[in-house]
Chains A and B, each alone.
Chain A
Amino acid sequence: MILSMKWLSDFVDCEDIEIKDYCDRMTDTGSKVESYTLLGSEIENVRVGRIVKIERHPDAERLVVCQVDCGEKTLQVITAATNVFEGAYVPVCYCPQDEKRISKLATGAQIKSGKLRGLISEGMFCSIEELGLTTHDMPGAATDGILILNDTVPCKSGDDIVDVLMMRDRAVEFEITPNRPDCLSVIGLARESAASFGRELKIPSPTVTEAGDDVRNYIDIEIKDTEKCFRYSARVIKNVKIAPSPLWMRMRLRASGVRPINNIVDITNYVMLEYGQPMHAFDYKCLDGKHIEVRTAGEKETFLTLDGQSRELDADMLVIADGKKPVGIAGVMGGANSEITEDTATVVFESAMFLGSSVRVTAKKLGMRTDASSRFEKGLDTENTVPALERACELVTLLGAGEVVSGMIDIYPEKKQTATVPFEPEKINRFLGIHLSAEKMTEILESLHFAVRDGQVYVPSYRDDVRCMNDVAEEVVRIYGYNEIESGSIVAAMTQGGLTDRQKFTDDVHGLLCGFGLDEIYTYSFMSAKLYDKAGLAPDDARRRSVEILNPFGEDSKTMRTTAIPSMLETLEINCNKGAEKAALYEMARVFLPRENVVTNIHGLAGTLPDERIKIMIGLYGTGDFYRLKGMCEAIFRYAGAEVKFTRETSNPTFHPGRCAVVTSADGMRLGILGELHPTVVRNYTFAAPVCLAELDMENLFAVSDRKKTYHPLPKFPSVTRDFSFVCEEQVTVGEIEDAMRASGVSLIENIVFFDVYRGAQLGAGKKSVSFSVSLRSADHTLTVEEADRAAAKILRGVERALGITIRQ
C-alpha cells in the first residue's frame, strides 16, 4: 500500500511531521514502512514560461529561437520542437546565462545554459516524459513534443512546474500484514496515524446530491448465494460524461501507484484507495433485463474479462450476472461486455461484500490476483459498502461526471454483529509483563476507536482480527510501545535441557568424519529423477520409487531423494569441473522413502508420511581408494562399538563389481554400502580420477551402537605374538582366512591383525601369500612357549581343515 501524504492530510494533519519520524513511529506502532519517496524532488529548476516571440535560427533550419517570459527574467531558449507557438505556456528548464543554475529532470538529465549553433540557449522546454509523466497522467499531452500548459492547468510565468502539476507529495510504502486489510486504505492509515501521533481524526460523511428519478426504475438486484455474498449496495449515475478526471485526482492516483484512466474508472479506484472498499462500474446499457443477480457460475461457463482474456468458470465461482449472462467475476474482475467506454451514458456502481475465501479460491483458480481480490480475500468491513458508495457518488457530482439517480439499492440479508471481548487489564498486564493502569489502556483502545465500557471492549466493524484477550493486549502494547516492555527472566519450573543420546551420537559421528579430513556439504533434498539414471541405478531399483512434489519448479527439482549418492556425485563433479584436484566430502543427508503400508496418525489425517532417514554419505574424489574409505567406515563402527561384517557385493550397478562391499551388523541388519564407482557410471560424469562412495544408514548404525559400555579389567599377564603367512589361491579372501583362524577353537586368541599380501613368481601363478600377526594371551598366567606353540599349531590345523591351505614354507 502506497500512501500519499497529501491525501492523508484530508483526514489527519501530519504535514508538519518529518517524513523519517513519521515512518519510524508508524513502524513502531505496527504499520511497517518499507520505504518513502519524495515525489517531485527529482525535478529541479523547471518553471512555467510563456513564449513571447519565435524566430528562425539564422544558422539552423530545424531550430527556432524563442524569447520566453519566465516571470522575473525573459530567457532565450532554442528548440527543435514543432508544437510551440507564441503565447504558449510551457515547462522550461530555467537556466539564465548570468546565473549558474542547473535544472534536473525526471529522466536524470541535467540541463544548463549553452550555445546551440552559435546562439545562447538559456534552458530547454520539457515534454511530459522529461517530467516523468505519461499521457495517462496528462491526457491529451503531446507525446513527441513539448507539454503545452494552456487550457490544461491554471498557471503563470515563473511558477514552479512541480507545484503547477501538483506533483509534489510524499509517498510512503507500507507493508500491510494480511490481518489488517483495513489499513489498505487512506482512511485506515489515517486512523493508525491519528492514534500513533495522538492527533485528531476527521472523516467527513460524504454528501450525495441526488438528481431525482428512482433507482428502482433502472434496476433490481438479487443475492442468490448469501453464503458467498453478504451485502450488495448499488447506485445508478445517469447523463454520464466520460472525460479525464481532474489533475488533483490523477496526481493522487499516480502517487499511489495507480494509472488514471477516465473519470468514472478513476472514481472507483480512488474510492478503493480511500475507503479500502473495491468498487465496480458497469455500463448500464450492457445489462440485460434491468436486473443484477449474484450467483454461482455454471460449470464450464466461459467469460471474457476486462483484460481481454477468456476465462472458464466453474460452479464454485461467484459471478455478478444480468438477466442473461455474467457481467463480472465477484470481487475479482469485471467483464469486457459491460466495460465503461467513451460513449457510456449510464453507470451502475457496485459496492459489495463477498466471502474472502471464495474470492481467494476463484482468483487462484483463474490465475488472476487483482487489487480487488487481494483485498476481499483478507476479509473486509461489511459496514463499509455504503459509505464508499456514497463517496463515489459525491465525487461524481464534484467532478461533474454525471447525475446521481435518487435512491440506493442495498441488499444486506444479515447485519453483521460486531465483536466484544472482555476487558481484563490485570490479565493483560500479567501477560505482557507491564504495569499500565486500566485508564491508560482505555485511552489507547479509544484512540483506536474501540469502545470500552461495562468491562467489555467493543471492537469496530473493520477490526475482525480482534477476537480475544491476546488481540486486545497487542492493541494496547503496540501503541504503548513494544520497547517499553521490561525484559524479564522466566520464573518457572526447571527444565532439563540438553541433547538426547541420539543427537549426541550424531555430533560424535560428525566429529569423526571431520577428523578423517572430510568436509561437510549441504545439498538439496529434491532433485531430478534423471540423476538416478546418471548414478547407475538399475531400472527396477526400488529406490526409484520416490515421493514427488506436485508443484515443483520443474522436472529437475521434483523428486525427493531416496539415496544421497546422486547429490554427492553432483557435488564432486562440480568441484572437479572447477579444477579441484581432489575432494573428500561427507553429508548427513536426509532421504525420503515412501512407505508401503498406511500408517495412521492421531488426527486421522489422510495419507502416510514417508520414512525419513539420515544417511552418512561419504564421497572421495582424487584422494584415497577403497581401503581408505573402508578404514573410515571401520573407524565409525569401532567407535560405535558395533560388530560388523563386510561382504563383497557384485550386483550393484553403481559400483565396481569387484570393489564394492555391503556392511551388515552381527545380527544381519544392513548398515550400508561402500565401493568404487563403476567405470560405466564414471562415464556419465566428468571425473578424471577414481571416485569412492559410502552410504551408511545413521538410524541403523545408532541401533547397533553399544551405548552401555562397561569396564573390562586390563590384562595382568603378557601376550605372545605369532606371525602366520598362508599361501592360497587368489580367490580365497583375507576375511575367510581370518574367520577360519577364529573358528579354530583356540580360546587364547586375543587379536588377529592382517599385515601383508604378497604375490610372486616363486608362489606360482594365481597364488598369493597372506600374512597375519596373532596375539595370544591368557587371563590367569603367563603363557609358556609350549602353550603358544600348541595354540599356533591348532590355528594352522583349523585353517587347513576349513580352507585346505597352509603356511608358506
Chain B
Amino acid sequence: MKELLESIRKKAMEEIAQSEDPEALRIRYLGKKGELTAVLRGMGSVPPEERPVIGALANDIREQIEAALAAKAEEKKEKELAHKLEAEALDVTIPGTACAVGRRHPLAQTENMLRDIFIGMGFSVAEGPEVEYDYYNFEALNLPKNHPARDTQDTFYITDNILLRSQTSPVQVRTMEVQKPPIRVISPGRVYRADPADATHSPIFHQVEGLVVDKGITMGDLKGILELFAKRMFGKETKIRFRPHHFPFTEPSAEVDVSCFVCGGKGCRLCKGEGWIEILGAGMVHPFVLSNCGIDPEVYSGFAFGMGIERIAMTRLGIDDMRLLYENDVRFLHQF
C-alpha cells in the first residue's frame, strides 16, 4: 500500500512538472475517480494499526499534488499575461505626439539670469519710459547740455528736450526722486544710440543698471557686490578687476573686467588673449547726482553699475553677430 502511494506521488509530480493542462491532472489524481482517491477507497484492506500512518501519508501526498497543481496554474496565467503584453508592444522609436516648446529670446534668458542674481541680493526691479526727458537721461546725471561726454552716446532726439534714452540711468534718477534710502534697485531695459547696426553694434540694445544708496556705502561694498554677481553669473572661480575710468555720474568710476570664463584667465580666443573680459561700468554715485535727486550727499553715499545684456549674452552663448539677435530667424531662436 505504502509503495503504491509513493509510486503515485512520484508519477503525479513528474506529470505535473511536464503538464500544459494541470486541470486534467487534478481530475486524474484527485477527482472522484482519481488514482489517489481510488487508493484511499481501498483503505479497508489495510490493517487497523497501519491506517493512521497510511492516512497521513495519503493526505501528505494529496497536499503536495494540490500545491504543485496550484503553482502550475499560476505559472500558466503568468505566461498568458506575458504573451498578451508582448502582443501589445509599441515601437518606442516612433516619435511621440508633437508638443511644441516655445523659447524665451536669448536676451530675455540672459536678463532673467542677471535679474534673479540681484533679486537674491535684496534688489527690486525698477522700470521707466524709453522716450525720456533730456533732464533725466543727461542733465540730472551731471551731463549738462553741450557737455563733451555726451559725444560718447550718440542720441536720438524726439524734440529738443525729449529723446530716446541712451542708458537706463534715468530710471535711477526717477527712483531716487520718489524713494528715500535705503535704495537697492536694478533697472533692466531697452536703450537707444545712433550707432548703425553691425556685428558688434545695434541702435537698440539692452542694459541692466544697479543702484545702491544708503548711509556708509563704500567702494569696497561695490566691489563686494560685483564680485558676488560675477561668481554667480560666470562661475565660482571668477575674479574681477577694476580699472579707473570716467563717467560723469559716478566718481570715482571704474571699468570692470571679469576673468575669462572660458580659459580661466590664461588667454584664449574669446578674451583675445587678455584673460579678462570687459563687462561692466561702475562707480560711486556723484554727489551732484544725489543732491539733484534730493538726497543729501553728506549723509548718504551710494554706488551704481551697468552692463550690456547683448554683450553678456553674446559672450556666454558664443554669438558672433549682434544683428542675429534682432533678426529673429527661428533657426537661431531654437538654439537656446
Residues of A bordering B, CB below 8 Å: 27-30, 32, 177-180, 356-357, 360-361, 374, 377-378, 430-434, 468-471, 473-474, 477-478, 482-483, 485-500, 503, 510, 513-526, 547-553, 557, 560, 571, 574-575, 578, 580, 583-586, 590, 592, 601-603, 605-607, 609-610, 612
Against A, the Cβ 8 Å flags (1 = close, 0 = not) of B316-336 are: 000000000111111101100
Stretch from B38-46, B68-76, B145-153, B262-270 forming part of the interface with A = B145-153
A473 to B219: give the CA distance in the assembly, Å.
10
A357 touches B131 (CB 8 A): no
- Interface of chain B, helix or strand or loop or mixed? mixed
Stretch from B5-13, B56-64, B80-88, B158-166 forming part of the interface with A = B158-166
CB distance from A616 to the nearest CB of B (A): 13
Pairs A–B under 8 Å by Cβ, sample size 17 = A178-B147, A374-B148, A377-B146, A377-B148, A433-B221, A468-B251, A474-B244, A474-B252, A478-B244, A485-B223, A510-B108, A513-B102, A517-B102, A520-B105, A578-B329, A586-B102, A605-B161
A482 touches B243 (CB 8 A): yes
CB distance from A404 to the nearest CB of B (A): 34
Q: Which 9 residue pairs are nearest across A and B when measured between Cβ atoms?
A: A517-B100, A433-B220, A474-B252, A30-B244, A433-B218, A177-B246, A488-B220, A482-B242, A514-B102
A179 to B328: give the CA distance in the assembly, Å.
40
B135 touches A516 (CB 8 A): no
B131 touches A560 (CB 8 A): yes
B158 touches A549 (CB 8 A): yes
**Contacts known (A179-B246, A470-B252, A549-B158); A497 close to B123, Cβ less than 8 A:** yes
Say if the beta carbon of B51 comes within 8 Å of chain A: no
A547 touches B130 (CB 8 A): no
**Contacts known (A433-B219, A482-B243); A519 close to B330, Cβ less than 8 A:** yes
Of A485, A494, A547, A602, which is within 8 A of B220 by CB? A485
B residues 87-141 near A (Cβ < 8 Å) are 99-105, 107-108, 118-125, 129-133, 135
A513 to B103: give the CA distance in the assembly, Å.
9
Residues of B bordering A, CB below 8 Å: 99-105, 107-108, 118-125, 129-133, 135, 145-149, 151-152, 156-162, 164, 177, 182-184, 190, 192, 194, 196, 203-204, 212, 214-221, 223-225, 227, 241-246, 248, 251-255, 284, 286-287, 301, 325-331, 333-334
A585 to B332: give the CA distance in the assembly, Å.
13
A590 to B102: give the CA distance in the assembly, Å.
20
**Contacts known (A487-B227, A517-B101, A520-B103); A32 close to B131, Cβ less than 8 A:** no
Chain A residues lying within 8 Å of B331, measured Cβ to Cβ, are: 578, 580
Of A471, A499, A510, which is within 8 A of B104 by CB? A510
CB distance from B118 to the nearest CB of A (A): 8
**Contacts known (A179-B246, A524-B326); A518 close to B148, Cβ less than 8 A:** no
Of B101, B192, B224, which is within 8 A of A487 by CB? B224
Chain B residues lying within 8 Å of A585, measured Cβ to Cβ, are: 328, 330
Which residue from chain B places its CB closest to the CB of A514 in the assembled complex?
Answer: B102
**Contacts known (A514-B103, A609-B132); A492 close to B146, Cβ less than 8 A:** no
A431 touches B108 (CB 8 A): no
A483 touches B242 (CB 8 A): yes
A607 touches B244 (CB 8 A): no
Which residue from chain A places its CB closest to the CB of B248 in the assembled complex?
Answer: A179
A606 touches B251 (CB 8 A): no
Of B160, B243, B255, B334, which is within 8 A of A519 by CB? B334
B184 touches A495 (CB 8 A): yes
A431 touches B301 (CB 8 A): yes
A193 to B102: give the CA distance in the assembly, Å.
56
A609 touches B131 (CB 8 A): yes
Which residue from chain B places its CB closest to the CB of A524 in the assembled complex?
Answer: B204
B158 touches A477 (CB 8 A): no
Chain A residues lying within 8 Å of B119, measured Cβ to Cβ, are: 497-499
Chain B residues lying within 8 Å of A522, measured Cβ to Cβ, are: 105, 107-108, 325-326, 328
A547 touches B148 (CB 8 A): no
**Contacts known (A483-B241, A490-B225, A602-B177); A521 close to B328, Cβ less than 8 A:** yes
Of B105, B158, B225, which is within 8 A of A548 by CB? B158
CB distance from A79 to the nearest CB of B (A): 42
A492 touches B244 (CB 8 A): no
B218 touches A516 (CB 8 A): no
A430 touches B216 (CB 8 A): yes
A582 to B123: give the CA distance in the assembly, Å.
40
CB distance from B229 to the nearest CB of A (A): 11
A606 to B177: give the CA distance in the assembly, Å.
19
- Interface of chain A, helix or strand or loop or mixed? loop
**Contacts known (A482-B254, A483-B241, A592-B131); A360 close to B203, Cβ less than 8 A:** no
**Contacts known (A32-B245, A432-B218, A487-B227); A552 close to B156, Cβ less than 8 A:** yes
Which residue from chain A places its CB closest to the CB of B220 in the assembled complex?
Answer: A433
Chain B residues lying within 8 Å of A592, measured Cβ to Cβ, are: 130-131
Which residue from chain B places its CB closest to the CB of A491 in the assembled complex?
Answer: B216
A471 to B248: give the CA distance in the assembly, Å.
11
A32 touches B216 (CB 8 A): no
Chain A residues lying within 8 Å of B286, measured Cβ to Cβ, are: 470
A500 to B126: give the CA distance in the assembly, Å.
9
B161 touches A516 (CB 8 A): no
Which residue from chain A places its CB closest to the CB of B226 in the assembled complex?
Answer: A487
A177 touches B245 (CB 8 A): yes
With contacts A29-B244, A485-B219, A525-B204 known, what are 6 further pairs, Cβ within 8 A?
A178-B151, A179-B149, A179-B246, A470-B251, A526-B204, A551-B157
B252 touches A478 (CB 8 A): yes
Which of A178, A578, A586 has the most CB atoms of chain B within a 10 A radius of its CB?
A178
Which residue from chain A places its CB closest to the CB of B181 in the assembled complex?
Answer: A493
Chain A residues lying within 8 Å of B219, measured Cβ to Cβ, are: 431-434, 477, 485
A469 to B287: give the CA distance in the assembly, Å.
9
A488 touches B102 (CB 8 A): no
A639 to B237: give the CA distance in the assembly, Å.
42
Which residue from chain A places its CB closest to the CB of B244 in the assembled complex?
Answer: A30
Which of B244, B284, B334 has the most CB atoms of chain A within a 10 A radius of its CB?
B244
Chain A residues lying within 8 Å of B255, measured Cβ to Cβ, are: 32
A488 touches B224 (CB 8 A): yes
Which residue from chain A places its CB closest to the CB of B206 in the assembled complex?
Answer: A522
A490 touches B124 (CB 8 A): no
B129 touches A609 (CB 8 A): yes
A495 touches B104 (CB 8 A): no
B161 touches A477 (CB 8 A): no
A178 touches B246 (CB 8 A): yes
A550 touches B159 (CB 8 A): yes
A519 to B336: give the CA distance in the assembly, Å.
10
Of A430, A473, A486, A488, which is within 8 A of B252 by CB? A473
Chain B residues lying within 8 Å of A513, measured Cβ to Cβ, are: 102
Chain B residues lying within 8 Å of A179, measured Cβ to Cβ, are: 149, 246, 248
Which of B146, B156, B162, B252 has the most CB atoms of chain A within a 10 A radius of its CB?
B252
CB distance from A27 to the nearest CB of B (A): 6
Chain A residues lying within 8 Å of B135, measured Cβ to Cβ, are: 603, 605
A525 touches B130 (CB 8 A): yes
A378 to B152: give the CA distance in the assembly, Å.
13
CB distance from B90 to the nearest CB of A (A): 25
Which residue from chain A places its CB closest to the CB of B183 in the assembled complex?
Answer: A495
**Contacts known (A29-B244, A485-B220, A517-B102); A493 close to B182, Cβ less than 8 A:** yes
A178 touches B123 (CB 8 A): no
A434 touches B122 (CB 8 A): no
CB distance from A570 to the nearest CB of B (A): 9
A470 touches B148 (CB 8 A): no
Which residue from chain B places its CB closest to the CB of A517 in the assembled complex?
Answer: B100
A487 touches B177 (CB 8 A): no
Of B145, B220, B329, which is within 8 A of A432 by CB? B220
B161 touches A519 (CB 8 A): no
CB distance from B115 to the nearest CB of A (A): 8
Chain B residues lying within 8 Å of A601, measured Cβ to Cβ, are: 133
Chain B residues lying within 8 Å of A482, measured Cβ to Cβ, are: 242-244, 252, 254
Which residue from chain B places its CB closest to the CB of A558 in the assembled complex?
Answer: B156
A378 to B183: give the CA distance in the assembly, Å.
33
CB distance from B278 to the nearest CB of A (A): 10
Chain A residues lying within 8 Å of B190, measured Cβ to Cβ, are: 525, 590
